Structure 1
Amino acid sequence: MPQKLRDAVVVVTGASSGIGRATARMFADRGATVVLAARRAEALEEVATECRNAGANALVVPTDVRDEDQVRRLCQAAVEQFGRIDVWVNNAGVAMFGRFEEIPREIFDNVIKTNLFGYVHGARAVLPVFREQGHGVLINNASMVSYVGQPYTSGYVASKHAIRGLGESLRMELMDAPDIHVCTVMPATIDTPLFHHAANYTGRGAKGMEPIYPAELCAATIVQMAERPMREVFVGNSGRMLARIHAVAPGLTERLMARMVERNHLRDTPAPHSPGNILAPMAEWTGVSGNWRNEASDGRSGALRLGLLGLGLAGVACLGWHLVRERRPEPRWRRALPRQLRSRRRRGWV
């Protein structure tokens, strides 16, 4: 059944900028009560004012999601103030760039603590509330790299793969609670301050990798999932395309992604090593946009090049796979199967 958003109580972590800020404002525009969480209290107050100007109730709860006690207090504050929680959006996240062996251990560990354990802490806090009230939607904002890895961001990629796996496991455990839903959002490159805030140990400047999509597109997807929960949704055709290519040609996809990151995610200009906002929040870049779309040469042409290349690679890979399969003799164990099972095996049923 669709979730009615008017007067729903929605918790959004990482609400001080980027996707979180856009999502909070969009929920407020739909009449929901929003509970805003992030490390930057001043920026949260700005978002709360925008939400109240839209006619919504807004509660600010400064929270560092790495600390489970703080996340538990965030959940308690929402329940005490509004009586329930209808939607919880795990969104707080940080990014890093650098070769795996060159990233400081403290930076790598805190990326995992924020991106993965921050979501774990949110789920641990809110799922008992959902079970008690009999309903709720947990939305985990992951990334297209939940399916397809990329170089220089190993900690980020590992955390996003884990978030997708966490969602799958939770859905299985919640089969006895049909009105509690766990959704995973997988955006492609989104125009947010994430890359301005990222730790960087490559010696080169980082930027958004084309094609770049507006944060409002991701926010609209999250709001839609709150109304009509879905298991997993890509935001941006580039992520969906890369996942499909990866399914049939993982080796080619890895080489494609490595080349794209080298040419389009890192600048040729030097940049000093920086921990970014990993260990402590940055005062700068509290808005929704990171201005990456304005800087991009041509997002549409980038998407077109990616799509055409992806279709070509996928077509070649599928053709080669089918040719090899047709020429390969049928294994003895399969010839011994009953005709009905052999037919199902060909269709991928068993």
Structure 2
Amino acid sequence: MKRGGVIVVTGASGGVGRATARAFAARGCKVALLARGRKGLQAAADEVRRAGGEALVVAVDVADAQAVDAAAQQVVDTFGRIDVWVNNAFSGVFAPFTEISPDEFRRVTEVTYLGYVFGTRAALRHMLPRDRGTIVQVGSALAYRGIPLQSAYCGAKHAIQGFNESLRCELLHARSGVRTTMVQLPAVNTPQFDWVLSRMPGQARPVAPVYQPEVAARAVVHAARHGRRREYWVGASTAATLLANAVAPGLLDRYLARAGFGSQQDEGEPAGRGNLWSPADGPQGRDFGAHGRFDDESHDDSPQNWLSRNRSRMGAVLTVGAGVAAARGLARLAARR
């Protein structure tokens, strides 16, 4: 992706999507902002323009495949092409599985999983004829490791992971110039915890450690620019979770059974109905911005993010280091002889 590209960001009215839109705008990009909430979209558009980009606001429910196709066409009609499509929109329910209704579970799946499928299909319709473009799936450590109280969201993120791997294989088989990659995020300080539907006794919160949305946004922009990598891990907690789950998933099950309920709640009233069926910034709502209420405890950077971005460079350093150590060992051995 060159500076000044055409970017589509779903879920752009708040949180990670909002921060990502700003990050692309700072590179002089034309940014199409897709979400349901008009107040948040207009505020995001203002931020994009102040950051140096061009903005196009498209109010759309990503669970509506025809509407997403129409949104993609609107972007092409306005800006001429789509270089990067960032799937980020989601919804969720904080509750035990048995307290989530079938309609609620279906709605979370339609937004959080099928929204990515429909967005990817719309992007490919315009990218494949040009044989270029990058699709970034904003994922989560929960794409590999389910946790209690978020069964609908975790199920959707797992589905995205499988879908993206399948699509990636197909694009490689076709030797396509279109790339797809996934960014696995840690807990992020976004407004979702103030608007998500919750049936917990306390107020929903992210599992510490928490990172600022700008950390996630930098990873998404990097992934868009270097789309050949299959995925990026953001945050030491993401790396630790995925590695622990690969080595000892049963132990992690038991740990989360003990700690996973309390670590996702604060004192205070739950959000109630949330934004599952309608945008949080509706007629009586407000613009929530990119940040949630956890600024005081959130990290502004992630060394793991840097390591993930610079894996090949670190590999070269380690290889050279190993070579130097081996040479010194051989020299000592020769001297003894």
Q: Give per-residue Cα distances to partners, 1:172-220, cap 9 Å, x unaligned.
A: 1111134211111110100101111211112332112110011001000
* Residue of structure 2 in register with 1:332 after alignment: none
Q: What is the TM-score normalised by the length of structure 2?
A: 0.84
1:226 to 224, 227, 236: 224
The answer to whether residue 199 in structure 2 is matched with residue 201 in structure 1 is yes
Q: Give per-residue Cα distances to partners, 1:269-311, cap 9 Å, x unaligned.
A: 46467221001111245211102242x4x979xxxxxxxxxxx
SS across alignment from 2:261: helix
2 CA distance for matches of 1:193 and 1:231? 28
2 CA distance for matches of 1:192 and 1:117? 22
The answer to whether residue 10 in structure 2 is matched with residue 13 in structure 1 is yes
Report if aligned partners of 2:39, 2:287 keep a CA contact under 8 Å in 1: no
* Residue of structure 1 in register with 2:294 after alignment: 292
SS across alignment from 2:158: helix
Runs of 4+ displaced beyond 6 Å: none
Report if aligned partners of 1:134, 1:177 keep a CA contact under 8 Å in 2: no
The answer to whether residue 249 in structure 2 is matched with residue 259 in structure 1 is no
Q: Give per-residue Cα distances to partners, 1:82-105, cap 9 Å, x unaligned.
A: 111000000001121111111122
1 CA distance for matches of 2:210 and 2:198? 20
Report if aligned partners of 1:13, 1:90 keep a CA contact under 8 Å in 2: yes
Report if aligned partners of 1:63, 1:71 keep a CA contact under 8 Å in 2: yes
Amino acid at match of 1:93: F
Report if aligned partners of 2:33, 2:58 keep a CA contact under 8 Å in 1: yes
Identity of aligned residues (%): 38
* Residue of structure 2 in register with 1:327 after alignment: none
- Going from structure 1 to structure 2, the CA distance change for 1:118 and 1:25 (only over 3 Å counts) comes to same
Report if aligned partners of 1:10, 1:88 keep a CA contact under 8 Å in 2: yes
How large is the Cα RMSD of the aligned pairs? 1.8
Report if aligned partners of 1:19, 1:216 keep a CA contact under 8 Å in 2: yes
* Residue of structure 2 in register with 1:81 after alignment: 78
2 CA distance for matches of 1:182 and 1:227? 11
1 CA distance for matches of 2:198 and 2:287? 17
* Residue of structure 2 in register with 1:55 after alignment: 52
Amino acid at match of 1:151: P
Report if aligned partners of 2:193, 2:204 keep a CA contact under 8 Å in 1: yes
Q: Which runs of 5+ in 1 are unaligned?
A: 301-350
* Residue of structure 2 in register with 1:142 after alignment: 139
2:24 to 9, 16, 27: 27
Report if aligned partners of 2:12, 2:89 keep a CA contact under 8 Å in 1: yes
The answer to whether residue 179 in structure 2 is matched with residue 177 in structure 1 is no
Q: Give the deviation of 1:158 after TM superposition.
A: 0.1
SS across alignment from 2:59: coil
* Residue of structure 1 in register with 2:188 after alignment: 190
SS across alignment from 1:287: coil
* Residue of structure 2 in register with 1:310 after alignment: none
* Residue of structure 2 in register with 1:64 after alignment: 61
Question: For 1:79-118, what aligned pairs fall within 5 Å after superposition?
Answer: 79-118=76-115
Amino acid at match of 2:90: G
2 CA distance for matches of 1:26 and 1:191? 17
2 CA distance for matches of 1:222 and 1:213? 14
Aligned length: 295
Q: Give the deviation of 1:69 after TM superposition.
A: 1.3
Report if aligned partners of 2:90, 2:112 keep a CA contact under 8 Å in 1: yes
- Going from structure 1 to structure 2, the CA distance change for 1:131 and 1:177 (only over 3 Å counts) comes to farther
1:282 to 280, 283, 297: 280
1 CA distance for matches of 2:199 and 2:66? 31
2 CA distance for matches of 1:177 and 1:247? 31
Q: Give per-residue Cα distances to partners, 1:16-48, cap 9 Å, x unaligned.
A: 000000000000001111000100122211111
Report if aligned partners of 1:202, 1:273 keep a CA contact under 8 Å in 2: no
Q: Give the deviation of 1:253 after TM superposition.
A: 1.2
Q: Which runs of 5+ in 2 are unaligned?
A: 301-337
1 CA distance for matches of 2:258 and 2:218? 31
Q: Give the deviation of 1:256 after TM superposition.
A: 2.1
